[in-house]
Amino acid sequence: MTTRSSHYSTRNVVFVDGVRTPFGKAKPDGYYAHTRADDLAVKTLRELLRRYPELPPERIDDVAIAATTQQGDQGLTLGRTVALLAGLPQSVPGFAIDRMCAGAMTAVTTAAGSIGIGQQDIVAAGGVEHMGGHPMGFDADPNPRFLSEKIVAPDALNMGVTAENLHDRLPHLTKERADAYAVASQNKYAQALADGNISPDLVPVATRNPESGWGLATTDELARPGTTVEGIANLKTPFRPGGRVTAGNASPLTDGATMSLIAGEDTARELGLPIGMRLVSFAYAGVEPEIMGYGPVPSTQKALERAGLSIDDIGLFEINEAFAVQVLSFLDFFGIADDDPRVNQYGGAIAMGHPLASSGVRLMIQLARQFAANPQVRYGMTTMCIGLGMGGTVIWENPHHPDFAPSPSHPVGADA
């Protein structure tokens, strides 16, 4: 067993594996209208434990679970309650995280920090969002100083309006480009589903409807195969009359949960666990809340600088598609074509849904699968915008690349 030392030295941190529920529409007739949010998270954690019987449950040092609206069945210190409900030993602690849409991403990077200095070995990290039961911002009470002191603009707390603002700031990112990008996301997701690249990561969830009885959710509920640019061209613009953001080029309201296992590379090898990706660097950054979607640009700049890499070193991108214009602003800044094949190979949130705090791990799950299919790619990136004007980026290394060097196995704190 790995020993720990008070003389910290860093060690490599890896993404072992991750799973997610099928994503459901956040409506009264959606998959999970009568399912508790915490039960969705429990299902994902139990599935990871089932997949890796070589992992003794007592070796899990913590359970970190994010939710944006932490109330009701998304409250009560989710990490701890889910750990208990999933049957982990009572010795395993847990906690909850809120960084809005980047909640699960922050759960992973928080775990990575603890593991990297040797204070933990294995952490279960993920997120859940039942937007049907807990709409974003429901019952929130923003401080009146936000507006009275002009800290943020009156419309900065509405994510759809911030997407319209981004169109205003970058008028060359037209509605036509956003619609074309959205249709491509739908098509890529449909192809990935047909190719068997989505289903292996999904945990079937038993559901119950008081009227129709029991069911089983096995596929994402929100995709719109066959979407065309012409078909979404005249959809309503709910955030602004004559605007550019529609239901066709934005992510839908979604229910779902994700979970991952994050570990020290030495611990993963000790226990015979797979290594899906190695964490290289991560960063969070702030921007004007009014253009929230631009956040991934500065967070990516910081993460690249910390890694000693350039954008040209990144061979695969998983960019959360909160809104098409948000992705386009990122691609535009870094000189990447709208249809670059490195970007969101399996489609994105516009097609499959965006259950807020859980989406960060969904990006990681898909990148790990793409790494396995593309051993020639050494580095990949997961990135997303965050409410109130932030962005988050994590850079990963592909363990299947010829230049990937396994780290030496030695106790943390020992001489390298």
The DSSP code sequence of 50-83 is HH-TTS-GGG--EEEEE-SS-SGGG-S-HHHHHH
Which residue in 165, 321, 140, 350 sits closest to 239, CA to CA? 165
Residue 196, Ramachandran bin (φ over 0: left; ψ between -120 and 50: alpha; else beta): left
Report the amino acid identity of residue 117.
I
Question: In 3-state terms, what secondary structure has residue 208?
Answer: strand
**Counts of helices then strands in the chain (DSSP H, E):** 12, 12
Tokens of 291: 């253009």
Residues with a catalytic annotation lie at 101, 354, 385
Residues 6+ apart with CB under 8 A from 248: 179, 182, 227, 231, 232, 235
Cα 202 to Cα 44, 93, 303, distances in angstroms:
9, 26, 29
Report d(CA 8, CA 110) in Å as an integer: 17
Tokens of 411: 């106790």
Report the amino acid identity of residue 367.
L
Residues 6+ apart with CB under 8 A from 293: 162, 163, 166, 322, 323, 325, 326, 329, 385
